[in-house]
Amino acid sequence: MRNKILKISAVVLSIALLLGGLFLLFRDDVQVKIQHEKIKPYVPDFTVLELSEDSNSEEENTAEIPDEAEKKLMEQMQNLCENFDNSIGWINVPETKISYPVMYSGDNDFYLHRAVDGSYLRVGSIFLYYRCNADFTGRINVLYGHNMSDGSMFADVMKFIDSDYFDSHNYGWLTTENAVYKINFFSLSQPENYDDFYDVSADVNVWLNNLRANSFIWRNICVSENDQFISLSTCTGSEGSSRTVLTGKLCKI
């Protein structure tokens, strides 16, 4: 009788755990959809960025777009920032799932599991490293995002390990309230010394040398200590401390 009771208890417990897991997954999916609908009216219209052949050059420090397109993007960001506290920009990488608002809270914990409206969200938000300047005026800027199994957030960063994929997705966009930047990606790395890589106050030349030493892919575009850089950092896998980082040069429009 005792063994029968134990078996029944084990079955009941297994069913409870299964149902609990399904509930959590369903709840997370619903929350993601709710947040998506909340920010949908504020998504910048990046289709206005129709570049000429010259402005798409890897060697150019600027990219020319129509003034009205730049103005429209900044107005859309101003609208976002007015409606969501701590929002500071929008990161977009064409033909990937990376298109999200960028948040800044002054620490590296708040947005790990919070949505742009501050509510709990397991997938979290894309956020700027707390030691960076919130207006992206620093030389080194680092964004964090989870590597989600459903391909959301910064999961697509892992695809850039393939050199063909990198070559066909070698630029992105960052828009803020006051500026629009083209991002020329030039590095895909897995830094060994996190303290050095995330030291955003480091000498830029030293930082670049360390980045190159840990890069799987390095495009020979013109970079110098006078440039500004942005890195998209995510976990290499669901477990462990390894990080995979996609880095580009910020080119102000």
- Considering the entire predicted model, what is its pTM? 0.84
Residue 3 lies in a domain: no
What is the DSSP-derived secondary structure letter of residue 120?
Answer: B
Residue 84 lies in a domain: yes
Report d(CA 139, CA 201) in Å as an integer.
8
Residue 200 lies in a domain: yes
Q: Show the domain range for 98.
A: 43-252
Residue 214 lies in a domain: yes
Alpha-carbon distance values, 179 to 28, 72, 250 (Å)? 34, 11, 11
Report d(CA 38, CA 40) in Å as an integer.
6
Residue 17 lies in a domain: no
Quick check: 165 pLDDT over 90? yes
CB 42 within 8 A of CB 87: no
Residue 240 lies in a domain: yes
Give the per-residue pLDDT at 11.
43
Residue 226 lies in a domain: yes
Q: In the structure, what pLDDT confidence band is assigned to residue 194 with cuts at 50, 70 and 90? A: confident
Read off the pLDDT of residues 34-76 as tens digits, 9 standing for 90 and up.
888 989 998 998 888 755 444 445 444 555 677 888 899 999 9
Specify the number of domains making up the chain: 1
How much of the chain, in percent, has pLDDT values that exceed 90?
Answer: 64
What is the CATH classification number for the domain harbouring 56? 2.40.260.10
Kindly state the helix (H) or strand (E) to which residue 32 belongs, with its residue range. Answer: helix 2-39
Residue 1 lies in a domain: no
**Nearest C-alpha neighbor of 174 from the set 206, 224, 135:** 135
